[in-house]
Each structure stands twice: as structure tokens, then as C-alpha cells.
Chain A
Amino acid sequence: DTGVSQNPRHKITKRGQNVTFRCDPISEHNRLYWYRQTLGQGPEFLTYFQNEAQLEKSRLLSDRFSAERPKGSFSTLEIQRTEQGDSAMYLCASSFTGGNTGELFFGEGSRLTVL
């Protein structure tokens, strides 16, 4: 297993367009997280899944954002009608609750630029 994989790595889009990011977690990990990181800031929690269930969403996640994790494997994060304020790095992370170490394993992120 090569770790958490995110695609695409970079996305440039025009305001108003929809974008979708994909995350493939480490295969045995049952939790999957989405974070958003803007320049000069630490990652901010957006949402997380345990297996296929989306258990929590941040109030940062407006109605234009939707995330899915069908079958408890990969996850997608879709942003509809993008706005310039959506420009950020979107980080995916996964973890295994069985070990209870709390460690999250991060992907390299998907950078979104909205023109």
C-alpha cells in the first residue's frame, strides 16, 4: 500500500463551475477525513466518515459541498458553483480506529484555484 492518494493534485476552474476531488485511503483504514487548508493556516476539519457513514460535518461545509464514501472505500468531495473563496488545498486523511493511536495519515492534497 502506497499511502493515501488524492486526485487531481491541482485543479484550476472558473467561478461557478463544479469540481470533484477523489481520495483513496490506506486500504485497512476505516476512518476518512477531509480538511481544508488555506495559505498560512493549519488544516480545518470539513467532514469525516467511519466506513461508509458520514458522521460529522463542519459548519464550514456549506450546502455547495458534498462528500461521499460509497462502500467505505474511496471518497469524493464535490464543490458545486465554486467561488473564489473556495480556493484552497483540500487534504484527505485516513486512520484506523482499532489501534487507538489517533494518528492520521495524510495525502498530498488537491489544490483548487478558482478564477
Chain B
Amino acid sequence: AQTVTQSQPEMSVQEAETVTLSCTYDTSENNYYLFWYKQPPSRQMILVIRQEAYKQQNATENRFSVNFQKAAKSFSLKISDSQLGDTAMYFCAFMMNPTFYSGGGADGLTFGKGTHLIIQP
């Protein structure tokens, strides 16, 4: 079974600052995906960014980028020029690559406990 650890229960930064959220995971598998999901207050969870383990290049999506260190099993999220709308719970998640693993259940998506990010005006 896979585990995902987010060691920062809460973080607070000023608007326009850069913030990095930490995530480590444990797996013996080699083909997997990593995700960061955002869950705003009382709203549904949405995908922020996705990384395929076989890709060495770090994924970027506008102001969001990751630092993927496969050997260290680390997957941090950097948010640049933070905005008030970035205030939310952020969850790091692990999934085995469905191309190689047909199971979608307990191995489908494993979440960390989340980091509550607060952007101060």
C-alpha cells in the first residue's frame, strides 16, 4: 500500500508571495502519477497539477509548479505570486499509472491529510 505524508497542517503567507507546500510518499512501484488537488471552502476538489513519474521534467501550470524528486520520493508544490483565491486545503495524492495497473480502488488514489493554505491580504 502507498502512503502520502503532508507535514504542514497549515501555512499562511501574504498575497503576492511565493509559497511551497511539502509532500512525501512511500511506494515500491515505479509507474505512478502524483497530483495536487485544491479544495476551497465548501466547494469541490479540483486538480491543480499532475506529474507522471517517468517524466523527469517538473510539471508547471501557470503560477503552479512542482519539484519532483523521484529518488527522494518528494513532490512539493510551489505557488508563485499567491492570490487570495488560492486560500484552500491542498491535498497531495498518489495514483498507480492506470496504463499498467487495472485496479482503481484502494490503489486508485491515496491522499495525504492536507495543508490548509491561507493567503493574507
Contact = CB atoms under 8 A, between A and B. Distances in A.
B33 A58 contact: no
B35 interface: yes
A100 B102 CA distance: 11
Contacts of B9: 40
A93 B37 CA distance: 13
Given A48-B104, A55-B104, A55-B105, A102 B114 contact: no
A58 to B, nearest CB: 6
Given A4-B44, A48-B105, A58-B106, A42 B113 contact: yes
Contacts of A33: 104, 108-109
B43 A108 contact: yes
Contacts of A93: 45
B103 A104 contact: no
Nearest to B109: A104
B46 interface: yes
Given A102-B98, A106-B45, A107-B44, A42 B104 contact: no
A42 B108 contact: no
A45 B105 contact: yes
A101 B50 contact: yes
A50 B104 contact: yes
Given A41-B113, A103-B50, 9 more contacts: A31-B104, A40-B9, A42-B93, A43-B45, A100-B97, A101-B50, A102-B98, A106-B45, A108-B43
27 contacts: A3-B44, A33-B104, A33-B108, A33-B109, A40-B114, A42-B4, A42-B93, A42-B111, A42-B113, A45-B105, A47-B105, A48-B104, A48-B105, A55-B105, A56-B105, A56-B106, A93-B45, A95-B104, A100-B98, A101-B33, A102-B33, A102-B95, A102-B97, A102-B109, A106-B44, A107-B44, A108-B44
Interface of B: 4, 9, 33, 35, 37, 42-47, 50, 91, 93, 95, 97-99, 103-106, 108-114
Q: A-B pairs with the 3 shortest C-beta distances? A: A56-B105, A42-B111, A106-B45
